[in-house]
Every structure is written in structure tokens, then in C-alpha cells.
């Protein structure tokens, strides 16, 4: 039986309009109607209806590190994310030796497959952020575990039966020996290649785009910086229309003025990401990111014991609010957390309110906080419903 959700305002494409209604059948949107709600519709009072948010870089959350995850841990994350408006996410693994990365990825995929239907956000595969990175731009990744992307290493990834079709993104440094050939091979295999943790020059970054790279992982962070003569990774990424720009908008990784600059220059290509790690949604304390110790302090920014920023405790709804707070148009900010990341990974049935798309919906209140969330037409979060006693739907602090 069809269900209809009606709202006074809705994000359709990249425009906020309304009133509008969305008709859902068997987990998918079958019709989007303008004007007054039809009979028997669920009428939302106030606020805004949007597609579900899509986060393509999540290392973990609520105390769970995807490098060491089981079915129970994946369930905890999947249950927690809808409180932040996220309906689909891409579990991300940081640098480890290739055989270890494959083992970790298999565990992620097994835990994802074990998720019960109708419960929480849904994983979209695996994002490998490493080990083919530059030791010069390591961040908190362990340089000793990094590897050059030789043919044998790429073979291991592409020949693994469990990873076939599930390896969605590989972040690498294209200037490393074998890097450009690796970009081409991965792209030919249907994997999105992102430039990240890279000391590539502007020329090398452009060459990576020629080879098929189509994204930049956490723009400005852990990459050769923008210069007025040598543009580095960010300079080319901002002007090359082929790149989608991943941006961690916690206003600590990238300051407010530069976030606004990025949107002014290339707002239609920005994909907001959290780069969240186990500390997201948790109180200050010691956590792990890919086996490395990370400390979350009262300022809400996870750091290594040496003081290097390590992932984030950001939530995607807060990233949207942050971007709006620096002066970016609301529709543009929301598009950067919905349709842009979905399209970047080839998920054209996500991130939009349109016939044929998955019925992933978020109802926001007037302060841009998720009030109700649907995944595949099923309600997975309702702010007016009691919070389970297990506390696994947290994010109370992180979502502020």
C-alpha cells in the first residue's frame, strides 16, 4: 500500500520549494507532487523535507572503529546515524598492509550483511583510505604501513571475491610510484579514485584526473597546500570540474572563511563528509582510529597524542548547519550532503526526492535538526519517540 508524506517545504533537486508530497511504494518514491497534500497523507507540520544524507567517509562512531567491527558494532552505528539525518554511509578503513586491509574490509562487509532489515542507516560498501598514500602527508596514518600501489597490490584488491563490487572508493596519492597506473586500473574496475594524503603538485593532480580520478579526500587536509604559483591538490581541485570535493566542515579541519571560499568557487561539486571516527557521539576520552590511539578533548576535535587532528567527531547534520552558518545557501548546503556524494559514488537512486529513488527521507525542524527519518520508506528515527535504554542511539552531544 502506498504511503504519502507531505511537507510545507521540500528539497527538490537543488531547490527548496513547497508545499510538496512524496508518494512511497515498496521502499521507493513513485511520485512527487506539488501543491496541497492529497487525502490520507502524513502531513508534517512546519520544517523541511529532504532526501536522506549520504556520508561517503565514516571511520566509525559511538565508540566503534570500523577497523575492528563485528555485527553488534555495525548495528550500533547503523542505529545511531539516522539521528544525524544520515540514511546511507560508506564505512572507511585507514592505512593498513594490503592483506590486513582486505581482512578488515571483509569484516565490514560481513557485519553490514548481518544488519536486520528496517533498522537504521544502510552501509554502501567500503572506502579504503590507504595504504597507497604519501608519507609526506601522513596525518595520523602510520607511514610504516603505507605501500606503493604496484600491480601486485592492486591485483590483491581487485581479485578478492568479497571486495568485488563492494570496493567503492580508494583514496591514494597518485604521485607515488605506480600511482597513475593504479588510478587507471581501479577506475576500469569501477572504483572511484580519490586523491588524498598526497603531496601531488598541481600538474600531477591534473594528470590524476586525466587518468580517471574523480574526487579529492578531505580538501586542504593532508595534501600539498594551495600556493599562488604552485596550486597543489586544492588549487587544481577547485578549478577542475572533474573533481568532487570532500570537505570536513567541522570548522576546525577547514576554517569558516575557507569553507565559504570553497563553496563560492565550486559549491556544486562539494560533498560534505564527516571523516567521523569512534569518538563521534561519545564523551571526551581515548578512542581508536585504525588501531591508532586518538584523544577526544572538551573542544570536540579528536587528536593524536602528538596533537595531530585525527578524523573527527563531526555529524553530517552539524556539518550542514555549520556551512549554513558561514553564509552558504541552505539548498546548496543540503545538496552537498545528499545528491553530490550520492552521485560521486554512482548512486543515482539516492540523495534525491524523485520517482525511482529510494524512499530515504529526513524531516528537519526549523533549527535544522532531524526530527524524523525514513530509510526505504520505514521510520528509523523519530525524535518524539522514546530513546531505547541501551543508549546506542546517542549523538546527543555530537549533534549539538
Q: Return binding residues for Zn(2+).
A: 129, 197, 218
Grid cell at residue 356 = 525511482
Beta-bridge partner residues of 373: 362, 381
- Cβ atoms 280, 318 nearer than 8 A: no
Q: Let me know if 113 is exposed, middle or buried by CB neighbors in 10 A (0-12, 13-18, 19+).
A: exposed
Q: Is 129 helix (H, G, I), strand (E, B) or coil?
A: strand
| Active-site residue (options: 199, 240, 250, 275) | 275
- Cβ atoms 262, 244 nearer than 8 A: no
Q: Point out the annotated binding site for substrate.
A: 140, 221-222, 229, 253, 309-311
Tell whether omega for the bond before 276 is within 30 degrees of 0, i.e. cis: no
The CA-atom distances, in angstroms, between 32 and each of 18, 159, 194, 336 are: 11, 42, 34, 21
* β-bridge pairing 167-172 and 126-129: parallel
- Cβ atoms 223, 233 nearer than 8 A: yes
- Cβ atoms 109, 166 nearer than 8 A: yes
210: left (phi > 0), else alpha (psi -120 to 50), else beta?
Answer: alpha
Torsion of CA 68, 73, 79, 81, to 10 degrees: -20
Active site (annotated) includes residue 365: no
Q: Let me know if 295 is exposed, middle or buried by CB neighbors in 10 A (0-12, 13-18, 19+).
A: middle
Say how far apart CA 9 and CA 377 lie, in whole Å: 19
- Cβ atoms 220, 258 nearer than 8 A: yes
Q: Point out the annotated binding site.
A: 129, 140, 197, 218, 221-222, 229, 253, 309-311
Supply the residues annotated as catalytic. Answer: 275
Amino acid at each position: 500500500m502506498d504511503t504519502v508524506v507531505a511537507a510545507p517545504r521540500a528539497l527538490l533537486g537543488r531547490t527548496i520549494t513547497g508545499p510538496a508530497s512524496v508518494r512511497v511504494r515498496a521502499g521507493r518514491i513513485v511520485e512527487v507532487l506539488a501543491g496541497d497534500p492529497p487525502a490520507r497523507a502524513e502531513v508534517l507540520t512546519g520544517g523541511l523535507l529532504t532526501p536522506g544524507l549520504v556520508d561517503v567517509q565514516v571511520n566509525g562512531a559511538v565508540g566503534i572503529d570500523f577497523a575492528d567491527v563485528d555485527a553488534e558494532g555495525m548495528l550500533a552505528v547503523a542505529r545511531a546515524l539516522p539521528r544525524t539525518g544520515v540514511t546511507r554511509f560508506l564505512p572507511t578503513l585507514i592505512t593498513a598492509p594490503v592483506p590486513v586491509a582486505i581482512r578488515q574490509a571483509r569484516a565490514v562487509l560481513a557485519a553490514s550483511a548481518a544488519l536486520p532489515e528496517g533498522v537504521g542507516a544502510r552501509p554502501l560498501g567500503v572506502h579504503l583510505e590507504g595504504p597507497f598514500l604519501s608519507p609526506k602527508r601522513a596525518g595520523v596514518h602510520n607511514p610504516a604501513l603505507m605501500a606503493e600501489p604496484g600491480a601486485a597490490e592492486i591485483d590483491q584488491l581487485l581479485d578478492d571475491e568479497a571486495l568485488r563490487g563492494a570496493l567503492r572508493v580508494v583514496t591514494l596519492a597518485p604521485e607515488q610510484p605506480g600511482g597513475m597506473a593504479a588510478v587507471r586500473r581501479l577506475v576500469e574496475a569501477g572504483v572511484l579514485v580519490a586523491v588524498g594524503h598526497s603531496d601531488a603538485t598541481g600538474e600531477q593532480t591534473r594528470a590524476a584526473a586525466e587518468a580517471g580520478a574523480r574526487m579529492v579526500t578531505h580538501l586542504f587536509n593532508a595534501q600539498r597546500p594551495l600556493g599562488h604559483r604552485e596550486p597543489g591538490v586544492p588549487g587544481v581541485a577547485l578549478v577542475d570540474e572533474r573533481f568532487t570535493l570532500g570537505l570536513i566542515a567541522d570548522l576546525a579541519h577547514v576554517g569558516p572563511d575557507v569553507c565559504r571560499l570553497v563553496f563560492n568557487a565550486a559549491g556544486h561539486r562539494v560533498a560534505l563528509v564527516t571523516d567521523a571516527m569512534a569518538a563521534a557521539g561519545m564523551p571526551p576520552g581515548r578512542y581508536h582510529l585504525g588501531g591508532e590511539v586518538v584523544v577526544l578533548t572538551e573542544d570536540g576535535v579528536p587528536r593524536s597524542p602528538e596533537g595531530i587532528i585525527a578524523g573527527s567527531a563531526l555529524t553530517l547534520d552539524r556539518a550542514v548547519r555549520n556551512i549554513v552558518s558561514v553564509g552558504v545557501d541552505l539548498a546548496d548546503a543540503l545538496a552537498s550532503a545528499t545528491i553530490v556524494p550520492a552521485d560521486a559514488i554512482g548512486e543515482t537512486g539516492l540523495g534525491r526526492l524523485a520517482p525511482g529513488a529510494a524512499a530515504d527521507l529526513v524531516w528537519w525542524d526549523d533549527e535544522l535538526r532531524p526530527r524524523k527519518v525514513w530509510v526505504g520508506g520505514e521510520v528509523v528515527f523519530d525524535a518524539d519517540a522514546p530513546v531505547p535504554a541501551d543508549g546506542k542511539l546517542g549523538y546527543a552531544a555530537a549533534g549539538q
